[in-house]
Amino acid sequence: RWLNLTELTNAITEDAYVLSQQQHQIQLSPPPAYLILGNESELRSALGNLVSNAVRYTPPGGTISLSWQETQDQLAFHVADTGLGIEAQHLPRLTERFYRVDRARSHATGGTGLGLAIVKHALTHHQARLDVESELGKGSTFKAVFPLARFRPVN
């Protein structure tokens, strides 16, 4: 199905506000006027999962920025946070089932370690990939990178 990117992004942003409970500053850059070919519930849960991680792993007062970034042949949904960050050694394993970065953190924040495994699965269904940039103590940016071929302009 062709889904309106603005509607999809607004729904995800609403979820972010609810999850954050006013603990974070949430910034949304207006999405480009595109439709995306995909499964609505899968995309919403995959992108929503990135947002819920950003909320969970960013202490109160932090900022979470949501944006779509277009390059020549890709369009990516970026979820940038000013949270705990992740050491480089962990990055390759984040999408493994049940992988969590440290046990102390895991205890404090709950969760099972399945979220990103499911995200990766859903993105793969859409020929998309997950990129992560992170710095311990500074924050993280998770990028769901889609081929531009999955999009068309509205109208």
| Residues making contact with Mg ion (CB under 5 A) | 53, 115
Q: Which of 46, 75, 94, 130 binds ligand ATP (CB under 6 A)?
A: 94
Cα angle 22, 20, 111 (rounded to 5 degrees) comes to 155
Q: Which of 5, 101, 123, 128 binds ligand ATP (CB under 6 A)?
A: 101
Q: Where are the beta strands (DSSP E) in 11-154?
A: 25-28, 34-37, 63-70, 74-81, 129-135, 139-147, 151-153
Which option in Mg ion, ligand ATP, none does residue 81 bind, with CB closer than 5 to 8 A by kind? ligand ATP
62: contact with ligand ATP by CB under 6 A: no
Report the Cα 35 to chain-centroid distance in Å.
19
* CB nearer ligand ATP, residue 7 or residue 135: 135
CB 146 within 8 A of CB 76: yes
Q: Which of 26, 43, 47, 54 binds ligand ATP (CB under 6 A)?
A: 54
* CB nearer ligand ATP, residue 29 or residue 112: 112
**Host H or E run for residue 11:** helix 5-20
Q: Binders of ligand ATP: how many residues, by CB under 6 A?
A: 20
Least separation in angstroms between residue 86's CB and ligand ATP is 5
- Reading the block at residue 105, the tokens are 């953190």
CB 118 within 8 A of CB 45: yes
Binding segment for ligand ATP among 5-13, 24-32, 68-76, 99-107 (CB under 6 A)? Answer: 99-107
Which option in ligand ATP, Mg ion, none does residue 84 bind, with CB closer than 5 to 8 A by kind? ligand ATP
CB 114 within 8 A of CB 98: yes
